[in-house]
Amino acid sequence: MAVAGVVAVVPVSAQTAEYRAPRAPDGNPDLNGIWQALSSAHWDLEPHGAGPSVVRDLGALSATPAGLGVVVDDVIPYTADALAQRDENRANRLQRDPAIKCYLPGVPRGMYMPFPVQILQSQQHIMILHEFAGAVRTVYMDDHVPAPADSWMGWSNGHWEGDTLVIETTGFNGMTWLDRSGNFHSDALRVVERLSRRSPETLSYEVTLEDPSVFTRPWTMRLPLYRRVEANAQLLEFRCVEFVEDLIYGHLRKQPQP
């Protein structure tokens, strides 16, 4: 039975390794489509157990699911001071997580939030559209220039290495988090993403983060992204600014709501 199990597994592995993605008009792999992560990275990048909701009245509906983690070697290599800051962020995440106030999610967080992402591919540019907050990222494939200014989503330059799309993003404002557990970075962050087709309905997503102000060395995480295959799949509106106006500005009302 053990031998039979091994025999059954080998062809599947070989099929994944030998998969050749469909081609775009320029001959590069076609990454067009709507994709979504199905991991617990949104809650915590590192391995973690299930935990209670930060809002008591939401009970189990807002509890944190357990996760095996997506960080290579499991642990994010913080400096001592940065680790203390991460722990303080975690203890106060209900007040401090920028995504709660509908700020743009940043890179790479936007890629593994529980919202779909659409990739639109051409030879000169690749657009990455996020359902969360309507965030948009342009990947410049030809005209590579440094970031003209710091921003929430950074400035992305891309190129192909064989069948892998490689995106380098810099120029961050240092105000985004990496997940809901307080993991963070500074404005010195440099992100290198690697996307490749591993099957008709999955992408391999690997991302390396380098930030000497926060981490002792570069580190990497890996996770798959899954194609949304339902009929008429599309990004829908999630205009979350409308949902947080009272949270952010309610104290300015002449007659505050109870």
pLDDT in tens, 137-188: 999 999 899 999 999 999 999 999 999 999 999 999 999 999 999 999 999 9
Integer Cα distance of 198 and 44 in angstroms: 25
pLDDT of residue 15: 44
Residue 235 pLDDT > 90: yes
State pLDDT tens for residues 206-232: 999 999 999 999 999 999 999 999 999
What distance lies between CA 121 and its chain's CA centroid? 19
In this predicted structure, what is the pLDDT of residue 258? 65
pLDDT at 147: 96
Output the furthest CA–CA distance in the chain (Å, rounded).
Answer: 75
**pLDDT higher than 90, residue 247:** no
How far does Cα 140 stand from its chain's mean position?
Answer: 19
**What integer pLDDT is reported at residue 249 of this predicted model?**
80
Cβ atoms of residues 170 and 164 within 8 Å: no
Q: Quick check: 167 and 137 in contact, CB under 8 A?
A: no
- Summarize the confidence of residues 25-31 as an average pLDDT: 96
Q: For position 9, what pLDDT does the model report? A: 44
How far from the centroid of its chain's Cα atoms is residue 216's Cα?
Answer: 22
pLDDT value at residue 77:
98
The CATH classification number of 22-49+63-229+239-246 equals 2.40.128.20
What percent of the chain has pLDDT above 70? 92
**pTM of the predicted model, to two decimals?**
0.90
For 85-139, how does the pLDDT look when each residue is reduced to its tens digit (9 = 90+)?
A: 999 999 999 999 999 999 999 999 999 999 999 999 999 999 999 999 999 999 9
Asked if residues 153 and 107 have their Cβ atoms less than 8 Å apart, the reply is yes
- Per-domain residue ranges of the chain: 22-49+63-229+239-246
**Cα 195 from chain centroid (whole Å):** 12
The full DSSP string for 37-51 is --SSTTT-SS-B--B
List, in sequence order, every residue forming a beta bridge with 67; answer none if it has no partner. 48
H or E stretch covering 88: helix 80-91
